[in-house]
Amino acid sequence: MASDQDHERAAIEGVVTRLSAMFAGTHTPEQVETAVMKAYGKFADSPVRDFIPVLVEHDSKEILRGDVA
């Protein structure tokens, strides 16, 4: 049976996949993955994990759009 960590990891991989397609014209898949991992790292110590993928996707979009340094 898959653990919560496995589900979270799969959700983050989904974020990378979606954003790679969304930003294909302006960013490489590697740049997208870097942005996602940067955003994901901000939540490393968060005790509540339910909304982490949604928050990571939101923050990653801001990074990729240049809204956040």
Q: From 2, 6, 49, select the one nearest 14 (Cα to Cα).
A: 6
Domain that residue 21 falls in: 4-65
Total number of domains constituting the chain: 1
> Which domain CATH number covers 23?
1.10.8
- Containing H/E element for 33? helix 29-41
Q: The whole model's pTM is what?
A: 0.90
pLDDT in tens, 14-68: 999 999 999 999 999 999 999 999 999 999 999 999 999 999 999 999 999 997 5
Half-sphere CA count of 38, side-chain side, radius 13 A: 15
